[in-house]
Structure 1
Amino acid sequence: MNEQIYTNYRLLLPDREILGTLVVRDGTIADIQPDVVAIGQNGGGDYLMPGLVELHTDNLETCISPRPGIRWPLEAAAIYHDRELAAAGITTVCDAIAIGDVTPTSLRFNQYDEAIDAIQKRQQAGGFSVDHRLHLRCELGFDRVYDITERYASSPLLVLISLMDHTPGQRQFVNLDKFKAYYSGKHGIKPGEMERFIQDRLDDQQRHAESSRRALVALTQARGIPLASHDDETVEHVRIALEEGAAIAEFPTTFIAAKEAHTNGLQVMVGAPNLVLGGSHSGNVSAMDLVESDLADIVSSDYVPLSLLQSAFTIAHKTGKPLYETIHLITSNPAKAIRLDGDRGSLEIGKRADLAIVRDDGVVPKIKVTICQGYRVA
């Protein structure tokens, strides 16, 4: 029997915080007591919380292409990505793999096979520090998006499909100036090429988006795969998502869309970078406004893994809500959204010992230790 005792920690339980002791046996939480004992690892009052659950990160893309024109070896990039997640306290991650893009030169058009295969092989071989799952981000204007997605629909790691539409003039980029700034800055679209680029994207949407949406929705329903909408802007966008059986509304861009989604039972996801920075880089709704209106259910680190933990502390400091409550947005709620809450996402006897030990100095919370199924991984 392999046993670890963690004592004198501030345990963030589902409904309260206690100073106490948590016992792990063979990778599972075996006991929780509101007492400090004389044996085991003494936490000195640091926080002990569930390992974080991330549903939408494209950090792997950053590791593959850390600078424009650079392509890192895929196997090494996957390992770097995994280590960054562990260092951020994330113990379950949905690697968001884009199927298609709106930029013709994007690596997203040809790296998905390698990325998915690398994740599946390394996860199945036990070569990752944390638990990796797949989230396929389907760009509806891409003509082959359904065929490619259908190829991976039977993967045991696939737990989420989201429907993307980054066509200029709507959703995330209703402001065309923001669209132009983003794609010229990140993807190098030159001013003289921008109008043609925009028109091509509009044409792609007209040709492919509706048929791709119908086929992908049918696929998720037939396979029982959770579905997410993305960048909902209007009440109509949300109502379409509801009709399609979506469970999650990722990053709604307006207050009215977020309210419609939350009121009708969709789990509203907001971005941790938006919370940490105090606003959206695209000029969309403030995530903190949604949190303060109780319209946010899940937080995603998106492109900055370390922001996930910080976001929960930011919310607690800003709203006065207890930390044991704000961490639901980064632990139990996302686990439930992808149907993994039966064995993770909270400190409860019988669940996996996926844990994060955190020290808060009032500036930025620091991950001291990350534990996945009882083993220290960072």
Structure 2
Amino acid sequence: MSQSDAILDRLMSLHPKVIDLSLDRMHRLLTALGNPERQIPPVIHIAGTNGKGSTQAMIRAGLEAGGARVHAYTSPHLARFHERIRLAGTLIDEDVLAATLEECEAANGGEPVTFFEITTAAAFLAFSRVSADYTLLEVGLGGRLDCTNVIDTPRLTIITPVSIDHTQFLGDTLPQIAGEKAGILKRGVRCIVAPQADEALAVIEDRAARLPAPLSIAGQHWTVSRERDALVYQDENGLLDLPLPNLPGPHQIQNAGTALAALRDLGARPDQAVAAVTRAEWPARMQRLKSGPLVDAAGPQAELWLDGGHNPAGGQAVADTLATMPKRPTHLVCGMLNTKDVTGYMRPLARQADSLTAVAIPGEANTLPADVTADAARSVGLAATTAADCESAIRLIASNQPQCRILICGSLYLAGRVLRDNS
């Protein structure tokens, strides 16, 4: 165990007995640290249900192609916590991370604080000490009361597509959830709004009108579409004819449009727009695994893919992607958390997959038992069985159908475990 892992384990013990979405603990801790959030480079604040990470990755690729130094904060991590904090383009160093976490732990003085709050404070502290041109800041949960929402005047805000998720915290209707996401809007600060359902957009527009905050809305102020083998983006500044995104899936077209709208607002050049859609890196989003023990288990004739989507919109995005791929027998290896809408996630996938093998997520307290996941799959018409782990599932599937496509899916936590095990 690394030094930072030991500190992170200690910080978990400070977690409040009841999670109440509030900024009070965050403000207290940041004040004790000297308010580092006021000393970081201009912030691009990103909220939404799906597409935050991909959109952020594209914006970072575009900014860095223009020579900018870019901090980035995202969650959750997949294989190592260090993935969450990128300092001027580079993942945070172990020694810097450990020292920064210890400093935050000391400043907190043993008071109750959530894991996400104290690690976000550590990110702000690290960002404040390294020179950069921009800070890409991804919301953890919701927006209005998310602990990233302590930035008074960001340079730009972004709301990616809003859908139903985290209902225990954000509400169980789309307008309620959109209201929480719209909480990142700030007076006088432009917000780039990705394609939204009408009822979500109405809430965002109402919030913006009351502040007021200018909006740049998909379908009104900018458009994006695929035309044959090109991506076409248009706004009041003109048309961009670009390559298709290197991140696979039809949903990446709208993510690219959102990123391009943000980059245009930041004054990016056309070559930066090309870099945004062709150089973005974002693991576990329809990622083809090409080497490692799990690939060996699948055998030379099978394709092995990985995706961390976990809600109904994520399931639809994966299904849409599978629909565009060359026809192959397709089998899912799926593990999910018990906090998710499992049947809602699986329903669109049932039309694209031949079977599902359910697994529990190793080391995850909130994993759904494999037999429950399998029952949910059967309820939407998917033939389902269970396996002890991903490797066992992959071996069984490939032994029965060597020339198949196997997709490991259902959770970012499962995806992270797969990336660690397959490295």
Q: Could you say whether these structures have the same fold, taking a TM-score greater than 0.5 normalized by the shorter chain as the test?
A: no
Given the two structures, how large is their TM-score scaled by the length of structure 1? Answer: 0.32
Given the two structures, how large is their TM-score scaled by the length of structure 2? Answer: 0.29
**Higher percent of residues as strand:** 1
Q: Which has the higher contact order (CA 8 A, sep 6+)?
A: 1
